Structure 1
């Protein structure tokens, strides 16, 4: 299971929510099947609907 906290720890180079979205998409495309959003992304540009946006990115609704 992919956890958002693991990605944030591993990818310290990410500086914004907009940089995080394609990372989530790439992981999903490589075959990860489950995604848990266990923390809120710490970026100043994190939108209020961040959970919906990341879920859409993971499930392929955003291209």
Structure 2
């Protein structure tokens, strides 16, 4: 992370090698939002087998929603 309220998707992925699917990444992104991250930069496409075509939209929704619907 470059600032306390800003994160790059690549930093989240590198920092959490236990995340092995897009579904797990969605939960990680939701947790990041709940922990105070205000902006998430989508600097790369996640390279998981289950990454959907509309991955940016889905991650943005997870980030905005946070953990409220988990």
TM tier relative to shorter chain? over 0.9
Count, aligned residues: 63
Q: Unaligned stretches of 5+ in structure 1?
A: none
Which residue pairs with 1:5 in the alignment?
Answer: 10
Q: Aligned-residue CA RMSD in angstroms?
A: 1.4
The SS at the match of 1:51 is helix
1:14 and 2:14 correspond: no
Deviation of the 1:30 alpha carbon: 1.2
The SS at the match of 1:14 is coil
Deviation of the 1:57 alpha carbon: 0.5
The SS at the match of 1:38 is coil
Matches within 5 A, 1:1-63: 1-60=6-65, 63=69
TM-score w.r.t. structure 2 length?
Answer: 0.84
Higher RCO (CA-CA < 8 Å; seq separation 6+): 1
Q: Unaligned stretches of 5+ in structure 2?
A: 1-5
